[in-house]
Amino acid sequence: MVSIETLKKELVKAHESRNLALNEVSEMKSTLTLGWTRPWLEELLEAFFVAAKCIWLLHLLAFSFNPVLGILRVDEKH
């Protein structure tokens, strides 16, 4: 089992790498239009970043178990 301190360190590293990625995306947003003539909607960017954060936290949670969890699946009927 992973200690709380190890998880805290991993979350700090994840937060730092996430901030770097967000900065890169912001820079890309200003230079890359992909044929999009309007500015990106802030709501769209915020939704993307929230989703990315949730996926990253789920990834960290899955790898905090010993042995590491396999693929998480939800029954189709739920």
Sequence ranges of the domains in the chain: 4-63
Model confidence band, residue 36 (pLDDT cutoffs 50, 70, 90): low
DSSP structure string for 56-71: HHHHHHHHTSSSPP--
Q: What is the model's pTM? A: 0.40
Model confidence band, residue 11 (pLDDT cutoffs 50, 70, 90): confident
Segment 44-56 mean pLDDT: 90
Does pLDDT of 65 surpass 70? yes
Spell out where 7-72 has E strands: none
Q: Are 69 and 62 in contact (CB under 8 A)?
A: yes
Residue type, 11: L
